[in-house]
Structure 1
Amino acid sequence: MQNSLITLADWLAMLETMHPKAIDMGLERVMQVKERMGIAFDCPVITVGGTNGKGSTCAMLESILLQAGYRVGLYTSPHLIDFNERARIGGEAVSDEALIESFAAVEAQRGDISLTYFEFTTLAILRLFARAGLDAVILEVGLGGRLDAVNVIDADVAIVTSVDIDHTEYLGTTREQIGFEKAGTFRQGKVAICSDPVPPESLVRHAEAIGADLWLLGRDFNYSGDKLQWNYGGRGQRRNALGYPSLRGANQLLNASAALASLEALRHRLPVGAQEVRNGLVMVDLPGRFQVLPGRPSVVLDVAHNPHAAATLAQNLDNMGFHAYTYAVFGAMQDKDIDGVIAHLKDRVDHWCVTDLPLPRAATAEQLKEKLLDAGVVPESKAGSEKTVEIFASPADAFANALSRAGENDRIAVFGSFLTVAGVMQARKSGYH
């Protein structure tokens, strides 16, 4: 079979159909293949889990460590446009060739063990990192924590950024249930960091029960600041007069504090100077997280796809200053709390451009429109309302329509799913401006 898999696209297409279930929680199969392959790290490993804020925290950690001159491996998911975005070494996406070689190595070792797309690709990227002579490895946890494929690696520091309701069919329906799943990445005798201002009791209890060294926001580390700069204070380290991270948004100091707490915990193995922290925070870049594109009308890209993230997006939109009208390009997965997302944003949006997405588990544009009507968004044709709700076949079409109607003092917010944001990014790349 391997002989017929020539390109990265060939491999990815095969992996999508290899396992009967797209998501199949459990570590047994992945652990077996990992052991067979002898994947291990002799440098510090940081895992980053949480409902929201994982990507930002990973990006800040990578940026600071690169500024400090370390060779860093960063694994994140999902990707926006190219699969290669998931694996970065030294700040650069890895090549197709490197990925293909690692995929072939996993295929050669897995025998009759069936792996999901995520499990297979995670093992391939871990193998790639283990052979790359790295100084530090940052691994974003895919879904939950306890049963996520990334959790086959014992982290030196495990971060949980936030705990909120998402992926309820796998993780539970309460913050306590979900907090327990997230805490599954913690290890005995190792540092466990939680930057959620109100950590679930289950997370705290689990950390204590296994003997992890738990650092809590407000107890073990904290931040303070004014409009110009901010300060971090940890158990034994202060960082003063820091510039704000270049990532915009209300929660970025929570994420930055978790990143700095993890670096404090590792300071004897990965020393980082004050200027390197400052430079890293100023230079960090992460597409699709409250990303405001240059030009007019204002265009905001945000992968907010659950109520917690939508509340943050609403707050960030409020902080942007005056815009005459706001257009939304909105597409979402059916298994998300779409009503919860709409509840936070319906009063900030005048014109909704809802879109189908190219995945079977996506909600249709028609379903999104129904949910908007149920939430009390009344289109123009009824009762003289100035709101509109229009349906489109793709994010590109929805964005093109919003762009054609928006004035230069308006704004367009693109949100609801990675696929929505990716569709608009690709459309812009190929010519809609």
Structure 2
Amino acid sequence: MTNIDLEYENTVKFLFSQLPMFQRDGASAYKKDLTNTLKLCQFLGNPEHQFKSVHVAGTNGKGSSSHYLAAIMQKAGYKTGLYTSPHLKSFTERIKINGVEITKEAVVEFVDLIKPLIEEIKPSFFEITVAMCFHYFAKEQVDIAIIEVGMGGRLDSTNVIIPEVSLITNISNDHQQWLGNDITTIAGEKAGIIKENIPVVISERQPEIEGVFVKRAKQLNSYLYFAEDYVQVGTNEGLVIRTDNMEVNVHHVQEAAYQQRNLKGVIKVVEILRDRGFDVNESAIVAGVEEAFAITGLKGRWQKLGSKPLKYCDVGHNEAGLRYVINQIKNYTFDKLHIVIGVVNDKELTSVMQLLPKEAQYYFCQADIPRALPASKLQQVASEYDLIGYCIPNVNKAIEVAENNASENDFIFIGGSNFVVAEIEGL
């Protein structure tokens, strides 16, 4: 191990051990204000105002949409920053420029730079990571950065930027104990990223909450676009994407049908960026959509892991996300369905359990984080909904047992949580 590898390991260990991390610890890491983020930014010379950006919020689809946008802008020739969370394998996945992860040296240098302030204000893991991303993108002089919200929007640490355009994807019930107990309240939190005089795109119309966005946009004189009113996405030997200004054919597309919903918002955002002076031609749009996941390194979105048997994973972890997954599975022909599943302990399980197919063979597991619901508890709850299977806490052991039980004509799905997918060996 080189010196920088050792320094990096120690730095990340410090971040993980000294600072509360929502993904790992849950409620203790959630900060309901922007005070620490603003102090960090001020200490760094306000880097968040030194580059152009797109701000992306939502419950489902914000990660995929962010990666599509980054790929398109990169293909258009722009030096493109991308900030997403959580990471699956390596901390450096969170911060990328043109698909290349932040260097270990940059992580070490940044934490050394702000250590005095860390000791003074005790920021969360996420607050530090957001400040690191702003500092890195400003220092590297990106042309544009795609910034994904962590959770919510209004009080999220990323919500100190003034973007070129905001994008809000699908809204559903998730993180209710922090964002509100109903979808209208949650939508209000997500709408908190709408800024005065800054256009905002809503990926899909959801009649029960569209008024939340309309009201907020009117208050702030922000022009609001419901993407499906402007963009049509259809299938014909690939995808056909149409707007009033263009028609493009995308031949090599990601298998997940739910990505068509995300692409409507993505394409409308690109059109707004074109109106705001960015030169993005149609070939860049096609290449960005076709190559998005390869260019940006996105993993865990309906990702194929094997053929005989078919084996897929997906990070969908709430009612809406898992509904997309179950509908996607129905598009395949197979003999028996095997589901390796684990969840976190703050997840509302009733709606999820009601979605899952009773005929599947289950393998209940748990990610190696404090927030994981014990596999035995998940098995117990699942049994109340006639979902029957094995309790195998270790994620990869559960996958191994599923593989041993499956014939080559079967289907294995692995998911239920980002953190289950993150532990898949070889992903």
Q: If the length of structure 1 is used for normalisation, what is the TM-score?
A: 0.90
Matched, 1:329 2:340: yes
Q: Which residue does the alignment assign to 1:223?
A: 232
Shift of 1:19: 4.4
C-alpha change, 1:251 and 1:238, in structure 2 (3 Å) is farther
Question: Partner letter of residue 112 of structure 1?
Answer: E
Question: In the alignment, is the contact (CA less than 8 A) between 2:79 and 2:142 conserved in 1?
Answer: yes
C-alpha change, 1:104 and 1:247, in structure 2 (3 Å) is farther
Question: Partner letter of residue 335 of structure 1?
Answer: D
Query: What is the alpha-carbon distance in structure 1 between the residues aligned to residue 190 and residue 75 of structure 2?
Result: 29
The within-5 A match list for 1:30-429 is 30-38=37-45, 39-110=47-118, 112-198=120-206, 200=209, 201-219=211-229, 221-234=230-243, 237-243=244-250, 246-267=253-274, 268-285=276-293, 286-320=298-332, 322-347=333-358, 350-377=360-387, 379=388, 389-424=389-424, 426=425, 428=426
Q: What are the superposed Cα offsets for residues 148-201 of structure 1, whole Å, 9 maximum, x if unpaired?
A: 101121222111011110000110011110111001111111111111221512
SS of equivalent to 1:246: coil
Question: In the alignment, is the contact (CA less than 8 A) between 2:242 and 2:248 conserved in 1?
Answer: no
Question: In the alignment, is the contact (CA less than 8 A) between 2:314 and 2:421 conserved in 1?
Answer: yes
Query: What is the alpha-carbon distance in structure 2 between the residues aligned to residue 91 and residue 16 of structure 1?
Result: 24
SS of equivalent to 1:85: helix
Shift of 1:346: 2.3
CA RMSD of aligned residues (A): 2.1
SS of equivalent to 1:284: helix
Shift of 1:269: 2.4
Q: Which runs of 5+ in 1 are unaligned?
A: 380-388
Shift of 1:6: 5.6
Question: Partner letter of residue 176 of structure 1?
Answer: T
Question: Partner letter of residue 404 of structure 1?
Answer: N
Shift of 1:231: 4.3
Query: What is the alpha-carbon distance in structure 2 between the residues aligned to residue 372 and residue 292 of structure 1?
Result: 26
Shift of 1:230: 4.1
Question: In the alignment, is the contact (CA less than 8 A) between 2:51 and 2:138 conserved in 1?
Answer: no
Query: What is the alpha-carbon distance in structure 2 between the residues aligned to residue 77 and residue 395 of structure 1?
Result: 21
Question: In the alignment, is the contact (CA less than 8 A) between 1:292 and 1:299 conserved in 2?
Answer: yes
SS of equivalent to 2:390: strand
Question: In the alignment, is the contact (CA less than 8 A) between 1:230 and 1:240 conserved in 2?
Answer: no
Question: In the alignment, is the contact (CA less than 8 A) between 1:291 and 1:300 conserved in 2?
Answer: yes
C-alpha change, 1:43 and 1:127, in structure 2 (3 Å) is closer
Query: What is the alpha-carbon distance in structure 2 between the residues aligned to residue 420 and residue 51 of structure 1?
Result: 19
Question: Partner letter of residue 324 of structure 1?
Answer: D
Q: How many residues align?
A: 410
Shift of 1:217: 2.8
Shift of 1:43: 3.7
C-alpha change, 1:151 and 1:163, in structure 2 (3 Å) is same
Query: What is the alpha-carbon distance in structure 2 between the residues aligned to residue 63 and residue 217 of structure 1?
Result: 19
SS of equivalent to 1:193: strand
Q: Which runs of 5+ in 2 are unaligned?
A: 21-27
Shift of 1:256: 1.1
Question: In the alignment, is the contact (CA less than 8 A) between 2:51 and 2:143 conserved in 1?
Answer: yes
Question: Partner letter of residue 79 of structure 2?
Answer: R
Q: Which residue does the alignment assign to 1:386?
A: none
Q: Which moved more, 1:336-345 or 1:183-192?
A: 336-345
Q: What are the superposed Cα offsets for residues 271-291 of structure 1, whole Å, 9 maximum, x if unpaired?
A: 111111111111111310111
Shift of 1:216: 1.2
Question: Partner letter of residue 186 of structure 1?
Answer: I
Query: What is the alpha-carbon distance in structure 2 between the residues aligned to residue 95 and residue 369 of structure 1?
Result: 41
Question: In the alignment, is the contact (CA less than 8 A) between 1:194 and 1:258 conserved in 2?
Answer: yes
Question: In the alignment, is the contact (CA less than 8 A) between 2:231 and 2:267 conserved in 1?
Answer: no
Query: What is the alpha-carbon distance in structure 2 between the residues aligned to residue 12 and residue 25 of structure 1?
Result: 24
Q: What are the superposed Cα offsets for residues 388-423 of structure 1, whole Å, 9 maximum, x if unpaired?
A: x10112111100111111111111100111111111
Question: In the alignment, is the contact (CA less than 8 A) between 1:356 and 1:393 conserved in 2?
Answer: yes
SS of equivalent to 1:360: coil
Query: What is the alpha-carbon distance in structure 2 between the residues aligned to residue 375 and residue 128 of structure 1?
Result: 48
SS of equivalent to 1:40: helix
Q: If the length of structure 2 is used for normalisation, what is the TM-score?
A: 0.91
Query: What is the alpha-carbon distance in structure 1 between the residues aligned to residue 119 and residue 171 of structure 2?
Result: 37
Which one scores higher on RCO, CA 8 angstroms, separation ≥ 6?
A: 2
SS of equivalent to 1:138: strand
